[in-house]
Amino acid sequence: MLIMQGCMDALNIATEVWLGYWLFDMPSCRRYKKRWVRILEYMLCIGWPAFIIGFNRFVGARFSNTQTVIVIFCFFISLALFSTRPLMCCLAWAGIYYATVSLMEVPGLVLSGWLTGRPYIECIHQSIIYDYIYLSVLSLLLMAAAKRWGALLRPRIRHMIHRKNAGLWFVIAVAEWWIITYFLMLGFTRSGRDVFIYSMVTAFFVLFLLIFLAAFVIYRQKELNHIRQKQEDARREQAYERIKQDYLQKSRELHDMKHQLQPVELYLCEQAPDKALCYVREMLGNLNESQERLHQWTGHPLFDSILNQKADQARELGINVFIQTALLHTGLPDRDLSVLLGNLLENAVEAAAQCPGEKRMDVYLEQKGNMLMLRVKNTLAHPPVESHGRFETTKPDKSSHGWGLESVRAVAQKYGGQLKLWYDAHIFEAKVILLEESEGEHGKGNQDA
C-alpha cells in the first residue's frame, strides 16, 4: 500500500511541476543557451518545487496553504533567473498556475472527508486512499489534456499573460489563494451532504469562472491584435500612398523639364551667361536629387516608391542594398502590395541594422506570366526565435508586434501563393510567390454563386 501511495504521489508531483514549466514555454524565452546552465534550469524550475511538495507530503501534510505560497515564490525566482520574460509575467504565471492547481486539489480533500464522515481538514494530515485516487485521476486528465491541446495552449498563454495585464492575473491568483483559505476554514465542520455539495459546487464554479475569464482574455487579445494589425496596415497604406503621390509629382516635374529649359534659352539670347549658368546648376541639383529619390525599378509607382523609401532608410543605417528587379505588370491592389513589400523590407532593415558585422539587404523581383516571385534576404545579428511555426518579435511589447510575417502570409494565401522562410546563423531569407489569377477565379466563383 505504501509503495502504491508513493507512486501515486510521484505521478501527481511530477505532473504538477512539469506542466507548470512546460506550459510557460521556456524554450522560446530561455535566457541562457549553454547545456550545463539548462541542467541547472531544470533543477530549479522543476526539481526545487517538486522537492518542496514531496517533503511536505512526507512529513504528513497532504495539503498546505503555506506550502503553496513557498512553491509559488520558488517557482517565480527560478523563472525570473532563467527566462527573458518580464518579472511581473513570471510572478503572474507562478501565482495563477500553482493557485489553480491547489484549487483543483481541494475537491479531493472534500471527497475524502465526505466518504469518511470526518471534517475534511483532518484528511490533510492522514493518508486516505480516496485522495490518492483523486489526485492520480486528476494528473492523468491533465497530462491527456496537455498532450491533446498543449501545442495550442502554450502560445495562447504566452500572449495572454503579458506586461500590461500581469498585475491582473496576479490579483486573480491572490483571490484563488483566499478562496482556498476559506475552504480550509470550512473544513473544520464535520463533512455531511450539505457541506460536500456546497464545497464541490463552489470549487467547480470558481474553476469555471477562471476558465471563462481566461477564454475571454484570449479572445479579446486576439481581437485587439486584429484591430491593431488593421490599423497598422491602414497607416502603412496611407504613408505609401503619400509616397506614391510624391513619386508621381516628381515624375511629372521630370516630364516638364523641357518647359524649364526655356529660361536658359532666354538668358542666352539676352547675352546673360552667368544667369543661365546659375539656373542650370540649380536645375541639375534638383534633377539629381529627384533621380536619386525616384529610381524606377519596376515601373510600378507604388512598388518603386516603397523600394526607394526603404532603400534610403537602409543606407542611412549603414546597410549595403542590392536590388534586382524586372518590369512589373500586375493588377494587385495597392493595399496588398504595400502590406507585402512594406512588411518584408521593414523586417529586413530592422534585422540588418542590428548586425554587428556586415549589414546587407538584397531584394529580388521576378515575374513570369501570372506568377510573381519576391525574395528578400538580409544579414542577422543572431538566429530568430521560432515557436510553433511563428517567429518571435524582438520588440518589448510582444502582444502588439511580431505580426508582419503573418500579414505577408495572409496576402500570399489570398492569391493562391505561399511564403517560404529560410535562415541560418547569419542570413534570413523570405520568398513570396503570388498567383494573380487565383484572386480573379475566386471572385468569379463568388459571382457565379
DSSP-derived 3-state class of residue 86:
coil
Q: Is the pLDDT of residue 208 over 90?
A: no
Per-residue model confidence (pLDDT) at position 77:
92
| 399: CATH | 3.30.565.10
Please give the share of the chain, as a percent, with pLDDT higher than 90: 12
Q: Is the pLDDT of residue 439 over 50?
A: no
Between 361 and 4, whose confidence is greater?
361
Q: Is the pLDDT of residue 443 over 50?
A: no
Whether 181 and 316 share a structural domain = no
Q: Classify residue 250: in a domain, yes or no.
A: no
Whether 139 and 74 share a structural domain = yes
- CA nearest 85: which of 390, 379, 399, 377? 399
CA 53 to chain centre: 33
Per-residue model confidence (pLDDT) at position 238:
67
Q: Is the pLDDT of residue 441 over 50?
A: no
Whether 154 and 193 share a structural domain = yes
Mean pLDDT for all residues in the chain: 77
Q: Classify residue 97: in a domain, yes or no.
A: yes
Q: How many domains does the chain contain in total? A: 3
Whether 306 and 284 share a structural domain = no
Final residue in a domain of this structure, among 232, 267, 294: 294
Per-residue pLDDT averaged across 436-445, rounded?
44
Q: What order do you get walking across the sheet with 427-435 strand by strand?
A: 320-324, 360-368, 371-379, 427-435, 418-423
Per-residue model confidence (pLDDT) at position 322:
92
362-403 residue pLDDT tens: 999 888 888 889 999 999 888 776 654 556 655 544 443 345
pLDDT band at 156 (very low <50, low <70, confident <90, very high): confident
Whether 172 and 211 share a structural domain = yes
Q: Is the pLDDT of residue 180 over 60?
A: yes
Whether 263 and 327 share a structural domain = no
Per-residue model confidence (pLDDT) at position 399:
41
Whether 194 and 261 share a structural domain = no
Per-residue model confidence (pLDDT) at position 223:
74
Q: Classify residue 73: in a domain, yes or no.
A: yes
Q: Classify residue 57: in a domain, yes or no.
A: yes
Q: Classify residue 332: in a domain, yes or no.
A: yes
Final residue in a domain of this structure, among 222, 248, 278: 222
Final residue in a domain of this structure, among 205, 222, 239: 222
Whether 431 and 290 share a structural domain = no
Whether 77 and 184 share a structural domain = yes
Q: Is the pLDDT of residue 360 over 80?
A: yes
What is the span of the domain harbouring residue 14? 2-222
Q: Classify residue 245: in a domain, yes or no.
A: no
Whether 56 and 23 share a structural domain = yes
Integer Cα distance of 166 and 94 in angstroms: 11
Q: Classify residue 217: in a domain, yes or no.
A: yes
- Asked whether 427 and 253 are in contact (CB, 8 A), the reply is no
Per-residue pLDDT averaged across 106-111, rounded?
80
Integer Cα distance of 180 and 186 in angstroms: 10
Most confident of 150-164, 282-296, 410-424, 428-442: 410-424
Per-residue pLDDT averaged across 101-118, rounded?
80
Q: Classify residue 82: in a domain, yes or no.
A: yes
pTM higher than the cut 0.75: no
257-302 residue pLDDT tens: 555 666 666 666 776 777 666 766 676 565 555 554 556 678 777 7
Whether 261 and 313 share a structural domain = no
Whether 168 and 133 share a structural domain = yes
